[in-house]
Amino acid sequence: MKLSIAARLAASYGLLVMGTVAGVAGVFYGATIGLLEQSIDREIETISRRLVDQYQVAAPGSLPDALARELTDGAYSDEEILMLIAADGRVLSGNLLVWPLLDAPAGELQSTWLKRRGQRTPVRFLLRDLGDGNRLLVGRDMREQQAMRELVLRALVVGALVALGLAMGGTVYFRRQLESPIGAIRRATNEIESGDLGRRMPPLGDDEFGRLATDINRMLDRIEQLMDGVRHVSNSIAHDLRTPLTRIRSRLELALGEDGGAEEARGAMADAIAGIDDLIVLFNRLLQIAETESGVNARNFTPIDVNRIAEDMVELYDASAEEQGVALNLTTRQGQPTLGDHNLIASALASLIDNAMKYAGSGAQVEVAAHACRDTVSLSVKDDGPGIPPESLPLVTQRFYRVDPSRSLPGNGLGLSIVEAIATMHGGRLELRNLYPGFEAEIILPRRGLPVPCEP
């Protein structure tokens, strides 16, 4: 049988409490009753040694007097038992009339029960051989100690019962404490599972469960965001792929209906293929955004060198810049390690360079730079073109958004969306700013290694 966590925790808690009580009781018992009994044992030994000495050193005849003195000195006189016993078992002197345990070994402390003053009495005693056949018995009536021992034991048993009760109460409390937040989390997950995707974990305070609920909520937010992304992509596909598809379809249908001959048909086919190729590009880019935004590629991150990427991309675009009459310049700074996907970062930078050359136009100055500042590295592309109308600035990274005057230029309105998705996926961001005159787009990525001072 599998026990619930609550039951297991509660059981261990109960065992722990019982163990603690047993430990404390043991120590307490040893420190009170145990010590008392030890001191009585010592006393018996001391008295017996003294009397034996007296018997052997002074005079055997003086011992009965010594016994009598001992029994009347007022110190424990009531509880003391002293006897001088002859070899044949006769009691020569002492405060007991008979000694029933003549066979008890001499020289060892022992316990027994005797009838004394009409009561069964626990007795601790030490029997000693006096060398001439006589024996000396020193004992102590332990009735009081026995009573105290019983008292302490009873108190301990009561204490243990109270502890057991508390442990059981604690167990119930534990279960409640564990089951109420877990129940709340389970109820919420069940509701989410049955379709209420906007549902979140209830606030559970600032304990472990509260933090777990917060984590689950964050995860749910992320999932919802991704699902929104997917929905957005499908909406985009619906809106922006239908138009070119309709165009291709009409073109082919027209060619089919007309009697234009082979030449006309071939032209329609070539147009259709070109249109489909454009669609494939658009489709790939949409998929790329979705893929990038979901962050699934992050596991392919390797150390990359943004300087090299900047150099490569500038070399890729230098001929085009030359042809378009754009001055393309590069500034790099050494030692800018970061983690990422080389191809994605390169494609993002290529896209920014492409934009700058396209929108700033012939005769423009385009500056590509790799910077490092504190714990970030950045790749920036600056131009001296007209910039973006301020009201469009927050919109240009949306899919398919195109600034009005640029609609006549080739493009699909996805470039900056992809660049932003790539930057975000790398734990960075894309910053766009008008420079009046000019425009700057900057990909800012987290830097590995020690922070470096910023450049002017």
Whole-Å CA distances, 399 to 233, 299, 418: 9, 25, 9
Tell me phi and psi for residue 346, to 5 degrees. Answer: -60, -40
Question: Cα–Cα distance between 423 and 339 in angstroms, integer?
Answer: 12
**Residue of 296, 327, 409, 454 interacting with another protein (CB under 8 A):** 296
In the complex, minimum distance from the CB of residue 370 to another protein, in angstroms, rounded to a whole number: 17
**Residue of 320, 327, 363, 400 interacting with another protein (CB under 8 A):** 320
Between 21 and 345, CB nearer to another protein: 345
322 in contact with another protein (CB under 8 A): yes
Task: Identify whether 437 is preceded by a cis peptide bond (ω within 30 of 0).
Answer: yes
Q: With residue 162 as reference, give the H or E element that holds it.
A: helix 143-193
Site string for another protein, 348-387 (x = CB under 8 A): --xx--x---------------------------------
DSSP letter (8 states) at residue 202: P
Tell me phi and psi for residue 453, to 5 degrees. Answer: -65, 150
Residues 258-287 that bind another protein (CB under 8 A): 280-281, 284, 287
347 in contact with another protein (CB under 8 A): yes
User: Are 289 and 328 within 8 A, CB to CB?
Assistant: no
Between 347 and 378, CB nearer to another protein: 347
User: Are 377 and 338 within 8 A, CB to CB?
Assistant: yes
Given the rule CB under 8 A, which of 73-81, 228-236, 295-303, 390-398 is the region that contacts another protein? 295-303
DSSP letter (8 states) at residue 374: B
Between 106 and 273, CB nearer to another protein: 273
299 in contact with another protein (CB under 8 A): yes
Q: What is the CA radius of gyration of the chain?
A: 49
User: Are 313 and 332 within 8 A, CB to CB?
Assistant: no
Question: Cα–Cα distance between 224 and 194 in angstroms, integer?
Answer: 15
**Residue of 214, 217, 297, 424 interacting with another protein (CB under 8 A):** 297
Structure-block tokens of residue 97: 């009339």
209 in contact with another protein (CB under 8 A): no
Sign of CA dihedral 128, 130, 131, 132: negative
Between 192 and 233, CB nearer to another protein: 233
307 in contact with another protein (CB under 8 A): no
Residues 10-69 that bind another protein (CB under 8 A): none
**Residue of 323, 390, 391, 408 interacting with another protein (CB under 8 A):** 323
407 in contact with another protein (CB under 8 A): no
Total residues contacting another protein by CB under 8 A comes to: 26
Whole-Å CA distances, 213 to 175, 194, 209, 217: 19, 19, 6, 6
245 in contact with another protein (CB under 8 A): no
332 in contact with another protein (CB under 8 A): no
Contact footprint for another protein (CB under 8 A) = 280-281, 284, 287, 291, 296-297, 299-300, 312, 315-317, 319-320, 322-323, 341, 343-344, 346-347, 350-351, 354, 415
